[in-house]
Amino acid sequence: MNKTRLEAFSDGVLAILITIMVLEFRAPHGSDIDVLIPIIPEVLSYVLSFIYLGIYWSNHHHLMHTVQRVTGGILWANLHLLFWLSLVPFVTGWIGENHFAPLPMALYGIILLMAAIAYYILTLVIIKTHGTDSILARAIGKDFKGKISPVLYVIAIGCSWISPWIAGGLYIVVALIWLVPDKRIEIIFKDEFKQK
């Protein structure tokens, strides 16, 4: 019952974040094809962040599925995650407006890294509450995606000053890793359905 509201609030925040980014590229003045060209980098950065927020929503969805009891710790670990995600529209607008300049690209990675760490903390808090024998705890041991992502973010942040394109490429790679269907999660779901 508690969980429903935590999910509803998180869904609300994520729905707003994913939508608010559209406000960044306001209708351009003029109706020529030329006025659309400066918007292209903004659209590209929007697509990337849309996918990232989609991934977070999807993962959050799966993660909450394993929660049976909402404690104050889970509640604040969740808000902490939402805080970092709430900065995504800001950095998205910044990289778009500056055509993927080094500093914005690095900050984009830092926000993604902080969100990944916040997600990891949330996972730990949930495991701590539900016990190391819980479905989540068993699954997380083999969590390659969760372990490789921060490493790639750190490399991308470092590479931003060498070439923002490498950084951008790495952000796309991480997004693709997560988009590929996760056998691990599938198995958990099957386990859960069997239990029911």
Residues of this chain that bind its own copies (CB under 8 A): 2, 5, 7-9, 11-20, 22-33, 36, 47, 50, 54, 57-58, 61, 65, 72-73, 75-76, 79, 82-83, 86-87, 89-90, 93-94, 96-98, 101-104, 107, 179, 181-182, 185-186
Report, in Å, the least distance between residue 125 CB and its own copies: 12
Whose Cβ is closer to its own copies: residue 29's or residue 194's?
29
Gap between the Cα atoms of 153 and 185, Å rounded: 23
Instruction: Count Cα atoms within 13 angstroms, Cβ side, for 47.
Output: 8
C-beta separation of 156 from 166 below 8 A: yes
Our CB check for its own copies shows the closer of 126 and 151 to be: 126
Nearest to 19 by CA among 46, 59, 48, 58: 46
Q: How far apart are CA 144 and CA 162, in angstroms?
A: 27
Q: Which is closer to its own copies, CB of 2 or CB of 132?
A: 2
Comparing C-alpha atoms, which of 73, 76, 196, 192 is closest to residue 134?
192
Q: How far is the CB of 148 from its own copies (least distance, A)?
A: 19
Q: Using the minimum distance from each CB to its own copies, give the nearer residue, 89 or 168.
A: 89
Residue 43 CA to residue 38 CA, distance in Å, equals 9
CB of 159 to its own copies, least distance (A): 16
Report the nearest approach of its own copies to the CB of residue 126 (Å).
16
